[in-house]
Structure 1
């Protein structure tokens, strides 16, 4: 596992508290590496939204932001059902089978970390979305998922939402398997909206 992956995993697990400042020298000592790979990993994580600038050259762990979560899920609400509907006419039995295999893995491997669950969640949706052959739209949706990643571990730990999310995944897939693209889009919209609103309400209540 690369240093970038280790740092990302630890950020998602809450190893570094929101608001804490990360210093290259301390991280290099903690992970047993030189400062160069630390600097490179921090730059990459900053570009992906996992870290934010602090002072002239430092970085810090961003605080959880209810407004950011709301913006992200509102954008996903508009774009992902559209992308899925564009993909629906091109979904083969093979693609649908791969999507079902991903869901099965999420259920049969109880030791999965929050980061691994988040990665499989994206793999499930991406498996379906790629069939649309809309690379620009797909890339935009993929970037939104990357920006959501840092909240997944928090949501999984604090809201115990995985069972609900998984049930909704199966409902979306079942609608696509029976050829009902409109129903699948509605279910996807509910899936994104319910999870987003729940997390926004939780974060707002936590900061009162």
Structure 2
């Protein structure tokens, strides 16, 4: 696997705890590669919010910040229903069928890992949102989603939230298939807000 993808997956899996500094030499030794691909992978992950600056030129795994998590879900709960509302008139049987196939692919035993679930989750939403043909709005939502990935991975891994999320995804799809756009957008807003509140409440708890 490409080092960038491997590192990203390991961050999603919680292999490196929040606050952990990542040194190029140690990462290169751990993955058995030279420092050049490590430097490039770390720079890319930093630009995407998976890593943060540490010291003069180092990087570290960022802490999970309840305020950042709240800001992200507040923006998403307003922008994503807006995008879905504009996509709904263009959603045909083929697009909705693909969306259901993605949801079905998430129903595996044993469950998929956080990285795979995150990818399929975004594919599900992407398949709906792209039908809006509103690239500026879509690109903004996509950037928010990238910033949320580490929080979503943590939530699915640590808070066992995947079952709730999946049930609401199927409900959303059912409403869209029935042409209930207003109810679908309301459900999507509630879906994002409820997950966000659970995560923020958990992150805000005092740590021992």
User: What is the TM-score with the length of structure 2 in the denominator?
Assistant: 0.98
What are the Cα deviations for residues 89-109 of structure 1, in whole angstroms up to 9, with x where unaligned?
000100000000000000135
- Following superposition, the deviation at residue 55 of structure 1 comes to 1.4
What are the Cα deviations for residues 106-161 of structure 1, in whole angstroms up to 9, with x where unaligned?
01353411111011111001100000000111011011111111112211122111
1: CA distance, partners of 2:186 / 2:45: 33
Q: In 2, are the aligned partners of 1:115 and 1:152 still within 8 Å (CA)?
A: no
Secondary structure of the structure 2 residue equivalent to 1:46: helix
1:12 and 2:12 matched: yes
Q: Which moved more, 1:126-135 or 1:146-155?
A: 146-155
Secondary structure of the structure 1 residue equivalent to 2:16: coil
After superposition, where does 1:6-155 map in structure 2 within 5 Å?
A: 6-108=6-108, 110-155=110-155
Aligned positions, number: 208
Match of 1:158 in 2: 158
Cα-Cα RMSD: 1.0
Unaligned runs of 5+ in 2: none
Secondary structure of the structure 2 residue equivalent to 1:59: strand
What are the Cα deviations for residues 4-41 of structure 1, in whole angstroms up to 9, with x where unaligned?
01100111111111111100001001100000000000
Match of 1:203 in 2: 203
Match of 1:170 in 2: 170
Q: In 2, are the aligned partners of 1:23 and 1:58 still within 8 Å (CA)?
A: yes
2: CA distance, partners of 1:108 / 1:98: 17
User: What is the TM-score with the length of structure 1 in the denominator?
Assistant: 0.98
- Following superposition, the deviation at residue 56 of structure 1 comes to 1.4
2: CA distance, partners of 1:169 / 1:100: 9
Secondary structure of the structure 2 residue equivalent to 1:53: strand
1: CA distance, partners of 2:84 / 2:175: 12
2: CA distance, partners of 1:45 / 1:191: 28
Unaligned runs of 5+ in 1: none
Secondary structure of the structure 2 residue equivalent to 1:169: helix
